[in-house]
Amino acid sequence: MAISHLHCLQSVRVAFPCRPSVSNNYYYGRENFTRKGSSLVYASTNNLNRDLHLQSKVETVLDSVKWDDRGLAVAIAQNVDTGAILMQGFANREAVATTVSSRKATFYSRSRSMLWTKGETSNNFINVHDIFLDCDRDSIIYLGKPDGPTCHTGSETCYYTPVFDLLENQKDKEDKLALTTLYSLESTIAQRKGELEVPQSGKPSWTRRLLLDEKLLCSKIREEADELCQTLEGNEDKSRAASEMADVLYHAMVLLALKDVKMEEVLDILRRRFSQSGIEEKRSRNSQA
């Protein structure tokens, strides 16, 4: 199947791949080609050849996917920072080619028999950073960053119906997102924060005490960081290091809750720094200055 929607014949431009570092070459191809200078025509001819080569490569990758008898493969959108599975749909060749080209997670709607890009009505696009195929090449991950809630219900992800809670009749927990450990912990801390105004009898939980006593919290963060360092300095067992890191992470996350900072924001920062070789570059520069 030709991926005809990718062609822009008037400008002889093919809009993939769109990795940020190289995409400008393609996006600005049209302007170059409409000017008259011979060097620009030459540049555009080079671009054209490169584009055709890339298109051929996309076709080759798409040929390697094991499409089912309806021409579909499962496509799962995952948050690149949190790992949350945002939604799952199906993709055909055109949907994957469009995702490669536009960097917006695109699926094939089986009910409407047409392509649809998540966010085309809600504006909550999923900006795809990478695409992975599985070992059988019949399942695809769109690894990306959502602009907003993914689910049409307004929920962050589509997976908020926990089966075991349903079986235990915990209907109040029906809207519980499928959270992995780090975010489950974050959610527990946020819950404790939300309960601070509620008077409690009995011993307060440790999280509640930390949330209510900034001095205690900060002394614990410094203490746990120190203990983590001691596992290296004192050549302690690796299990001690893991345990101290757990302490550092937990106490630091209580502080983040007080500052209204989500772990997702922290990971977003780390991704940007590392994708730009940022931390390494900055630190190296600073320390060598």
Q: Which two tokens mark 229?
A: 């360092």
Does 217 help bind a copy of itself (rule: CB under 8 A)?
yes
Does 175 help bind a copy of itself (rule: CB under 8 A)?
no
Q: Which is nearer to a copy of itself, 40 or 263 (CB)?
A: 263
Q: Residue 272 class from Cβ within 10 Å (0-12 exposed, 13-18 middle, 19+ buried)?
A: exposed
Does 228 help bind a copy of itself (rule: CB under 8 A)?
yes
Least distance CB 262 / a copy of itself (angstroms): 8
> Could you tell me if 76 and 139 are in contact, meaning their C-beta atoms sit under 8 angstroms apart?
yes
Does 52 help bind a copy of itself (rule: CB under 8 A)?
no
Candidate residues 36, 112, 171, 238; the one interacting with a copy of itself per rule CB under 8 A: 238
Tell me how far apart the alpha carbons of residues 280 and 254 are, in angstroms, rounded to a whole number: 27
3-11, 32-40, 41-49, 126-134 -> range binding a copy of itself (CB under 8 A): 126-134
Dihedral angle computed from the Cα positions of residues 151, 3, 47 and 12, in that order, rounded to the nearest 10 degrees: -110
Candidate residues 31, 63, 120, 226; the one interacting with a copy of itself per rule CB under 8 A: 226
Which whole-number Å values give the CA distances from 69 to 73, 92, 192, in the listed order?
A: 10, 11, 50
5-13, 27-35, 38-46, 274-282 -> range binding a copy of itself (CB under 8 A): 274-282
The alpha carbon of residue 71 and the mean position of all alpha carbons in its chain are separated, in whole angstroms, by 27
Does 205 help bind a copy of itself (rule: CB under 8 A)?
yes
Does 225 help bind a copy of itself (rule: CB under 8 A)?
yes
Does 159 help bind a copy of itself (rule: CB under 8 A)?
yes
Closest-CA residue to 151 (of 124, 132, 131) = 124
Q: Which is nearer to a copy of itself, 41 or 229 (CB)?
A: 229
Q: Which two tokens mark 258?
A: 């007080």
Q: What are phi and psi of 127, to 5 degrees?
A: -85, 110
Q: Which is nearer to a copy of itself, 115 or 143 (CB)?
A: 143
Q: Which two tokens mark 71?
A: 């021409």
Q: Which is nearer to a copy of itself, 40 or 264 (CB)?
A: 264
H/E element, 87: strand 85-91
H/E element, 117: strand 114-117
Does 190 help bind a copy of itself (rule: CB under 8 A)?
no
Least distance CB 163 / a copy of itself (angstroms): 4
Q: Which is nearer to a copy of itself, 40 or 141 (CB)?
A: 141
Candidate residues 39, 171, 233, 289; the one interacting with a copy of itself per rule CB under 8 A: 233
Q: Which two tokens mark 44?
A: 């555009």
Does 246 help bind a copy of itself (rule: CB under 8 A)?
yes
Query: Could you give the angle at which helices 238-258 and 214-233 cross, rounded to 10 degrees?
Result: 160
Tell me how far apart the alpha carbons of residues 32 and 27 are, in angstroms, rounded to a whole number: 10
Does 48 help bind a copy of itself (rule: CB under 8 A)?
no
Candidate residues 5, 35, 222, 276; the one interacting with a copy of itself per rule CB under 8 A: 222
Residue 193: CB atoms within 10 A of its CB come to 16
Q: Which is nearer to a copy of itself, 24 or 34 (CB)?
A: 24
Least distance CB 31 / a copy of itself (angstroms): 24
Does 271 help bind a copy of itself (rule: CB under 8 A)?
yes
